Amino acid sequence: MQNFTYITRPSRVIFGRGTLSSIGREVATLGLKRVLIVSTPGQKDLAGQLATILGTGAVAIHAHAAMHTPVTVTEDALKVVREKAIDGVAAIGGGSAIGLSKAIALRSELPQLVVPTTYAGSEMTPILGETAEGRKITLADPKVVPNVVLYDVDLTLSLSSAVSAASGMNAIAHAVEALYAKDRNPVISLMAVEGISALTRALPAIVRDGQDTKARSDALYGAWLCGTCLGAVGMALHHKLCHTLGGSFGLPHAQTHAVVLPHTLAYNASAAPDMIRALAPVLGNDPAAALHKLASEIRAPKALRDLGMAEADIAAAAELVMANPYWNPRPVEFGDIRTLISRAWAGEAPQG
């Protein structure tokens, strides 16, 4: 047992099926009268559905959220906030919609209600990654933590199997890194194992049948737990690699996590005995191989080259990781990281 500090963040979490219909009550409890709804363009209909439920309480819809939270989009949304005297934000959709809501809250301190419909987990964290002039800057601020998180399993039934698989692997990555975080603690480690267990059980079933409500429920429950892990303890090499590949080489967020995770897990395995012990009942004695196999089973992407990364960028990516590394249980060496990225680029099996 190592010493630890455990911090909880105040947020109200509602979980179930058909819960979206109760959002009016949550808006009323927060005393909001003029809500701005934000979403990505693809979730505009969902945003409209939310506006219908809120009636006159929904003053405007801003369906322009985008991956990696571009600051220009946030500035446009803030104009709407000022012009329409908005007193609260409601986001519906994946991490992109929730990122925009958090970016608005950071600058306006408006209360937020978020309805996550992917497994990315942003709703449970004080973290915000924003992009401006081609650079991604990640900050942590309690101001961006949503006041209310409303999980409605029914809204995830429309997620494609490809998005479900990649997003599910993204969630698992949060929990895996929590198990070897420098500031790990027993409560978050319990949540991490439970979250990984729920997702590894649910994802194959979802890919077989996206309408399997039991599996959908397990996956969203797992995503909540994994997001809580991301929000509670520090992340290491895996998140550093994915932030670099996404932020500097434009690779898609969840898919990059899916490809890289078995490789970072294999890299860190020898230096993270607590993680190996904790995962043994769920993933066996070689969790990296187990996740590589899971990725095949659920048809998640397995090679960075299939996500559009050029082979010529491998060394540059390794240099960027080395330039400002996160704490990691195993020391991070340039040659090892270049090899790790090369193997992930080519879709080879993970190697410690």
Chain positions contacting ligand NAD, by CB under 6 A: 40, 42-43, 46, 67-69, 93-97, 99, 117-118, 120-122, 125, 127-129, 155, 158-159, 163, 167, 230, 253-254
Q: With respect to ligand NAD, which residue has the nearer C-beta, 167 or 268?
A: 167
Alpha carbon distance 288, 265 (integer Å): 5
Give the torsion sign (CA, 110, 112, 118, 122).
positive
Element (H, E) at 322: helix 314-323
Phi/psi of residue 202, each to 5°?
Answer: -80, -40
For residues 261 and 269, which CB has a smaller minimum distance to ligand NAD in the complex? 261
- Which phi and psi angles does 251 have, rounded to 5°? -80, 150
Q: Shortest distance, CB of residue 114 to ligand NAD, whole angstroms?
A: 11
Rg (CA), the chain: 19
Residue 93 or 287 with smaller CB distance to ligand NAD: 93
Rounded least distance, CB 230 to ligand NAD, Å: 6
Distances (CA, A) of 115 to 98, 152, 285: 8, 7, 36
Is 66 within 8 Å of 73 (Cβ atoms)? Answer: yes
Listed in sequence order, the DSSP H helices in 233-268 are 237-249, 253-268
CB of 85 to ligand NAD, least distance (A): 28
Given the complex with ligand NAD, which of 46 and 276 has the nearer CB atom? 46
d(C-alpha 292, C-alpha 294), whole Å: 5
Residue closer to ligand NAD (CB basis): 247 or 350: 247
Q: How far is the CB of 301 from ligand NAD (least distance, A)?
A: 13
Q: Estimate to the nearest angstrom the gap between the alpha carbon of 30 and the chain centroid.
A: 26
Minimum Å gap between C-beta 72 and ligand NAD is 15
Q: How many CB atoms lie within 10 A of CB 199?
A: 29
Question: Smallest distance, Å, CB 156 to ligand NAD?
Answer: 6
Phi, psi of 300 (to 5 degrees): -75, 155
Helix (H, G, I), strand (E, B) or coil at 314: helix
Amino acid at 302: K
Measured from the CB atom, is 276 or 298 closer to ligand NAD?
298
Least distance in Å: CB of 174 to ligand NAD?
Answer: 7
- The alpha carbon of 18 is separated from its chain's Cα centroid by a whole number of angstroms, namely 23
Instruction: Give 265-282 as a DSSP string.
Output: HHHHGGG-HHHHHHHHHH
Q: How far apart are CA 74 and CA 102, in angstroms?
A: 10
**Residue with smallest beta-carbon separation from ligand NAD:** 95
Among 222, 246, 245, 251, which residue's Cα sits nearest to residue 341?
245
In the bound state with ligand NAD, the residue whose beta carbon lies nearer, of 33 and 212, is: 212
CB closer to ligand NAD out of 37 and 120: 120
Nearer to ligand NAD, 232 or 276 (CB): 232
**C-beta of 86: minimal distance to ligand NAD in Å?**
21
Secondary structure (3-state) at 186:
helix
Tell me how far, at minimum, the Cβ of 119 lies from ligand NAD, in Å.
Answer: 7
